[in-house]
Amino acid sequence: MSWNRRVFSLSLDDRTAKLVQSRRRPGRYELSVDGIPQSVVSMTDPTSLEYAYIQHIARAMDAAASPDAPLFTVHLGAGALTLARYVEATRPGSPQIVVEFEPALFAAVISALPLPPGSDVRVIFGDARAVADAELPDEKPSPEHSSPLRDLGAAATGSTAIDTDWVNAQFTVVDLWDAAVIRHRVASQEFYRRVAARSAVAGVVAVNLLDGHPFEYSRRQAATLRSVFDHVAVVLDAEPEDDEGPLGNVVVFASQEPLDIATSPDLLGTPRPHFLHDGPLTAWISDARIMTDADGTDSPDPDDPIWN
């Protein structure tokens, strides 16, 4: 591994992660894995967000607590900590937990792009499903609740969390990519039940997906989250009826309480993306099946010829 304060290239098993600073926009960095963009970070202005889906999630975060109030946020999948930096910039000192499978990648990102002093960002190194399945306080032991794979001595910043610190999360971002694919074990009903168990009563969960028409995968994900949470909404930047449209990000929001983006749709900004909630969401989901551990599928591979 070699890196400096501007750029690093890091081998991760059979993959390569790179962090590259923009030549035209100093202070802006892009993290990619095997050439697939994962995160864009502005070190000069962490509230400047590159991608529309990140902006949708950030706006939901803005509404999740009173202005300037702390927001206990959990990030499943770290990337370059774009949203963790956003929360720290907009709500300084908010307690945050990051669950990250690649300690070497996390350490390299933090070394190249340090978090601001005083940030309360703790890390659990391990598989997100194993961490979610770990036994909660006051929960009876169950064979399905295994201990997470974590390195308690390898935190790169702040203090190292343990799995039982992930309790009563106010906002949880599920952004679990294996390069360009989401594995079905972190997209099943069983997994989301564990995320719900670790969320506050009014906690919001935001799931970032990649899909295209006819959105079979996203519709199944929405159906799955609806089987766990009382309130679900979907935000698409693509035209849902465009059968020739390309792959694009789909964000599914879920909570046991009414969602702010549903009661205050102006939060989505302009140009307003496609928004599905209540009846329109039911019609869009149609007969899509709930995903379980037994019959779940990985997310669409962007290299599949059907998308080209």
pLDDT tens by residue, the chain, 308 residues: 444 445 788 887 778 889 999 888 889 999 988 888 889 999 999 999 999 999 999 999 999 999 989 999 999 998 999 999 999 999 999 999 999 999 999 999 999 999 999 999 999 999 999 999 999 987 766 555 544 434 333 344 456 788 889 999 999 999 998 878 999 999 999 999 999 999 999 999 999 999 988 999 999 999 999 999 999 999 998 767 666 667 889 999 999 999 999 888 788 877 788 899 999 999 999 999 999 999 999 998 887 766 66
Q: Which amino acid is at 5?
A: R
**pTM of the complete model:** 0.90
Q: Give the C-alpha separation, 72 to 187, whole Å.
A: 22
Q: Is the peptide bond prior to 214 cis by the omega test (within 30 degrees of 0)?
A: yes
Please check whether residue 253 is in contact with residue 233, taking contact to mean a CB–CB distance below 8 angstroms. yes
Q: Give the C-alpha separation, 259 to 203, whole Å.
A: 10
Scored b (16 or more CB within 10 A) or e, 19-45 reads bebeeeeeebbbbbbeeeebbbbbeee
CATH topology of domain 51-307: Rossmann fold (3.40.50)
The CA-based angle 105-49-66, given to 5 degrees, is 105
For 145, phi then psi, to 5°, come to -95, 90
**Strands annotated E in the chain:** 2-3, 8-12, 15-21, 28-33, 36-42, 73-76, 96-100, 121-125, 169-174, 199-211, 231-236, 248-255, 274-277
pLDDT in tens, 135-163: 998 776 655 554 443 433 334 445 678 88
Please check whether residue 49 is in contact with residue 55, taking contact to mean a CB–CB distance below 8 angstroms. yes
Of the candidates 240, 245, 249, 233, which has an alpha carbon nearest to the alpha carbon of residue 282? 233
Domain ranges of the chain: 51-307
DSSP 8-class letter at 160 = B
pLDDT in tens, 244-299: 667 889 999 999 999 999 888 788 877 788 899 999 999 999 999 999 999 999 99
